[in-house]
Structure 1
Amino acid sequence: MDDGDKIRASKNITIGDIAEELGLSKSTISRAISGKGRISEATMLKVKEYIRVHNYKPNVIAKGLAQSKTYNIGVILPADANLIEIPFFQSCLMGICEETAIQDYDVVVTTVKEDDITFLKRLIHNQKVDGVILTRSLVNDAPAKYLKENDIPFVVIGSCEDNDIVQIDNNHLEGCRELTSILLMSGNHSLALLAGNQNHIVNRNRYAGFVKAFHDSKLSMDNSMVFLDMNNNVLIDRAVNQIMERHIDCIVCSDDLICSRVLAKLNEDNYSVPEDIKVASFYNNAHLESYNPLSHHLV
């Protein structure tokens, strides 16, 4: 029997067929397949050998009904993710798919907005998944609140204040503290910060790291040069204008989306980086790898 014949045969084989062929009960076959329940080693080996030869694969739907499982994991992506963030979420999704496949699970992907979790509710209401992975944590986290209230197993990629929630994250606060400390120790005592949406925990942690670096260095931070919720180019451009009027040493950006706009604005206004002002970013995706500040130096 070639591989094609095995695949076709496996689609038609049922637990009943295996039981009849081996002279065993259906319950015995089920116990052998699941590995649960009392069954002799000889019978277990007999069933497994038959399954191997005939390339039998349990029907996932039937298996799910028997165990009250869907064998699906929901992955919730932010609907407002920008081009800078997409590679991060792609990497997360690839890792999730790789691990779920090992566990014989599939992935169901949907999106949510900060103020609209309709798609998530539909996924749960229709019992499409056994658990959920949230790929962003929020201060007012409606997705996490909804899942917790409905006793749905879930984890968060990010940080949150609820210690009952399983969460996985980088240490953004410490990383941003370290970068800011390096800038301060390098003689850049006047720093400006441009940070993104403060409803996103990651941005709050990066801001906290910036503040902590000044505290640890016993240097005064100029609060007038801290610009939060920089969610569009108009706000960023306005902040850059104010910063350049103050002759600040370095602009620190909480992510590369903000950083790329800062660099574009400086270039439009004929400023040179790093001669006229230095720029640093708390993020490190590939978006800025090809950007050479020296190419914008005026001669």
Structure 2
Amino acid sequence: MEENKDITIYDIAEKLNLATSTISRALKDHPSISDKTIKKVKKTAEEMGYVPNTLAAGLRGNKTNTIGVLIPTVTQPFLSSLISGIEITAQKSGYNVIIMQSHDSYEEEVSLAKSLYSSRVSGVISSLAMETRDTSHFQQFVSNNIPLVFVDRVPKDFNTFRVIIDNYAAGYKATKHLIEQGCTRIAHLTAGSEFGNLYSERKRGYLDALKDHNLPLIEELIVNLKTVTYEEGAKASNKLFDLELRPDGIFASGDIIAVSAIQTAKKRGIKIPEELAIIGFNNDPISQIIDPNLSTITHPAAKMGKASAEIILKNIKSNKKDEVKEITFLNTEVLVRESSKRI
């Protein structure tokens, strides 16, 4: 029995007794080929099970119709929505999306960036890994005119497109809300390095809100997590609850951290929101499942994904590259729910 093999344009040419160049042009609807021949070639190609080799075509043209997306994980609801926004926008323009996960590892991010470059992607959208301090591995894209967009977790000093929210304003709003509920010892569960601007900007908003409302900065109430996980959130929460004077409010930089704080507090008999008001960040689905429902900050993930993909597509199609710019979404808002509502 003959072994299965991929059908090529040579097989179609042999069957129809036509030149391979004619087959190639017909499959691309080239005007030099008659409608009759185009129909015949496409019908035969379909019957034979021909699948175009987009990678090989891309290598010949030094590009593929593929946008690379390099993110920490697909399991976080925010990043899933971000991917959805990217995919819908890319597919409408005939582009495929390849997704790679760094799992917050710098080494994996470096390796995956090389893989994307070797795959001749047409553009790259990336949200940085938690461990990343040096972004020189992204320079290969910029140096070779491959459009690059950083989204959400972006480096402070890399001259390329960025799509972010106003993390400072969002952090300020979250902290101000807790102050308005009567909290005076507000803890902040943060994450990541000061290298990227996401968590550092939320923290800056938190600090300024305290200052503007004449509340003291208490260093022991700021806990830096290694990763944005439930386990790390629970560990950090227990550290806060072990203090002689524990906090009466918590602003967590992610909903999963806030959820772990709620459940840890409940295990220790701390009443929410009477003794401890909690607000998270992202408006993940879990925020409405947890009891009590979690107050949070909205985060327009799908819109950010769409904006990122639009930048890539515009720069692929245009000979004149756009000037590097930053798109900042300002429409974040506080969603007040049971976990922080005292007044």
TM-score, structure 1 length as denominator?
A: 0.71
Paired amino acid for 2:291? N
Higher relative contact order (CA 8 A, sep 6+): 2
Aligned equivalents of 1:148, 1:34: Cα separation in 2: 37
Question: Could you say if the C-alpha distance between residues 47 and 162 of structure 1 is closer, same or farther in structure 2, counting changes exceeding 3 Å?
Answer: farther
Alignment check: 8 A CA contact 2:221 2:240 kept? no
TM-superposed deviation, 1:282: 2.9
Are 1:237 and 2:232 counterparts?
Answer: no
Aligned equivalents of 2:275, 2:55: Cα separation in 1: 64
Alignment check: 8 A CA contact 2:68 2:125 kept? yes
Are 1:288 and 2:287 counterparts?
Answer: yes
Question: Could you say if the C-alpha distance between residues 228 and 238 of structure 1 is closer, same or farther in structure 2, counting changes exceeding 3 Å?
Answer: closer
Are 1:102 and 2:103 counterparts?
Answer: no
1:264 corresponds to: 263
Question: Could you say if the C-alpha distance between residues 202 and 285 of structure 1 is closer, same or farther in structure 2, counting changes exceeding 3 Å?
Answer: same
Aligned equivalents of 2:174, 2:271: Cα separation in 1: 22
Q: 2:150 aligns with which of 131, 150, 156?
A: 156
1:40 corresponds to: none
Question: Could you say if the C-alpha distance between residues 180 and 47 of structure 1 is closer, same or farther in structure 2, counting changes exceeding 3 Å?
Answer: farther
Deviations 1:83-105 (A, max 9, x none): 9x621222222222222222322
Question: Could you say if the C-alpha distance between residues 250 and 13 of structure 1 is closer, same or farther in structure 2, counting changes exceeding 3 Å?
Answer: same
Deviations 1:237-289 (A, max 9, x none): 112222xx325331221212221221122111111111222222233211121
In the alignment of these two chains, the number of paired residues is 267
- 5+ long unaligned stretches in structure 1: 1-7, 36-42
TM-superposed deviation, 1:47: 6.0
2:188 corresponds to: 193
Q: 2:122 aligns with which of 116, 130, 137?
A: 130
1:146 corresponds to: 137
Aligned equivalents of 1:93, 1:50: Cα separation in 2: 40
- 5+ long unaligned stretches in structure 2: 1-6, 46-50, 227-231, 294-337
TM-superposed deviation, 1:177: 0.7
Aligned equivalents of 1:162, 1:139: Cα separation in 2: 16
1:90 corresponds to: 80
SS of the residue 1:228 aligns to: strand
Deviations 1:31-50 (A, max 9, x none): x9599xxxxxxx58x86797
SS of the residue 1:169 aligns to: strand
Q: 1:171 aligns with which of 166, 172, 179?
A: 166
Alignment check: 8 A CA contact 1:139 1:160 kept? no
Are 1:205 and 2:201 counterparts?
Answer: yes
Deviations 1:162-182 (A, max 9, x none): 362111112221112112123
Q: Which deviates the most, 174-183 or 63-72?
A: 63-72
TM-score, structure 2 length as denominator?
A: 0.63
Question: Could you say if the C-alpha distance between residues 59 and 224 of structure 1 is closer, same or farther in structure 2, counting changes exceeding 3 Å?
Answer: closer
Aligned equivalents of 1:11, 1:92: Cα separation in 2: 41
Aligned equivalents of 1:162, 1:48: Cα separation in 2: 54
Question: Could you say if the C-alpha distance between residues 286 and 68 of structure 1 is closer, same or farther in structure 2, counting changes exceeding 3 Å?
Answer: same
Aligned equivalents of 1:60, 1:119: Cα separation in 2: 23
Alignment check: 8 A CA contact 2:174 2:251 kept? no
Alignment check: 8 A CA contact 1:272 1:293 kept? no
CA RMSD of superposed structures (Å): 3.9
1:39 corresponds to: none
TM-superposed deviation, 1:185: 3.2
Paired amino acid for 1:101? Q
TM-superposed deviation, 1:198: 3.0
Are 1:119 and 2:144 counterparts?
Answer: no
Alignment check: 8 A CA contact 2:78 2:282 kept? no
SS of the residue 2:242 aligns to: helix
Q: Which has the higher helix share?
A: 1
SS of the residue 1:116 aligns to: helix
Aligned equivalents of 1:248, 1:59: Cα separation in 2: 59
Deviations 1:129-159 (A, max 9, x none): 23221123668444x4212145253211123
Q: Percent identity?
A: 18
1:38 corresponds to: none
Paired amino acid for 2:280? S
Are 1:273 and 2:263 counterparts?
Answer: no
Alignment check: 8 A CA contact 2:66 2:121 kept? yes
